[in-house]
């Protein structure tokens, strides 16, 4: 997909982001930091679960519950409106993104750069989907399954008879990359 083809979607998305920021509804750089913190809280919940099961010491369940409450509170700051199971999906997207990132880092340490790249791409795809869901970028009219059952994003061109399908993850990654800049203060 060329830059010219995604530019109208990016411009529309950026206009939405700017409007939200002006209304102080959204601080994407802070929310991005918060999403990474939430990933780590989920990871701590998992570690307390396994530590409890290894030691049977109840204090680890108490710690798990405290961390869970903190994670829920933080997640509420990002996920304002949700339907169905978007809350739970969002949590699992962040958790899976973190796990792929950790596996990628381990592969990188072992010198397996190809596996690391694959894991990092999966991590970023899931992270982008998290933001796509929670910024209202993903709707039923935007996605479909192609003949190989892959999820694709439908890009409407000016000519109604011409539709181009691109990977949902690719599309979201492009949009999120433009909107979220962790270096903004």
Using a cut of 0.75, tell me whether the model's pTM lies above it. Answer: no
* Structure letter (DSSP) for residue 66: H
Burial of residue 153 (number of CB atoms within 10 Å: 0-12, 13-18, 19+): buried
Phi-psi region of 24 (alpha: psi -120 to 50; beta: other; left: phi over 0): left
Q: Model confidence over 108-160: pLDDT tens digits?
A: 999 999 999 999 999 998 998 898 888 877 765 555 545 554 544 444 333 33
Q: Which two tokens stand for residue 149?
A: 């059952």
Q: Model confidence over 62-97: pLDDT tens digits?
A: 999 999 999 999 999 988 777 778 889 999 999 999
């Amino acid at each position: 997909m060329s830059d010219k083809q995604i530019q109208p979607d990016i411009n529309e998305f950026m206009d939405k982001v700017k409007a939200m920021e002006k209304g102080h509804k959204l601080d994407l750089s802070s929310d991005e930091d918060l999403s990474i913190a939430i990933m780590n809280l989920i990871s701590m919940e998992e570690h307390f679960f396994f530590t409890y099961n290894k030691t049977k010491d109840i204090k680890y369940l108490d710690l798990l519950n405290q961390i869970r409450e903190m994670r829920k509170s933080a997640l509420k700051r990002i996920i304002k409106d949700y339907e169905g199971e978007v809350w739970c999906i969002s949590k699992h997207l962040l958790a899976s993104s973190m796990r792929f990132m950790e596996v990628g880092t381990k592969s990188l340490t072992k010198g397996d750069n190809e596996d690391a790249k694959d894991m990092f791409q999966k991590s970023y795809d899931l992270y982008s989907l998290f933001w796509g869901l929670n910024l209202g970028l993903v709707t039923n009219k935007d996605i479909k399954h192609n003949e190989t059952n892959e999820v694709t994003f439908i890009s409407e061109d000016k000519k109604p008879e011409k539709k181009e399908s691109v990977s949902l993850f690719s599309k979201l990654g492009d949009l999120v990359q433009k909107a979220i800049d962790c270096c903004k203060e």
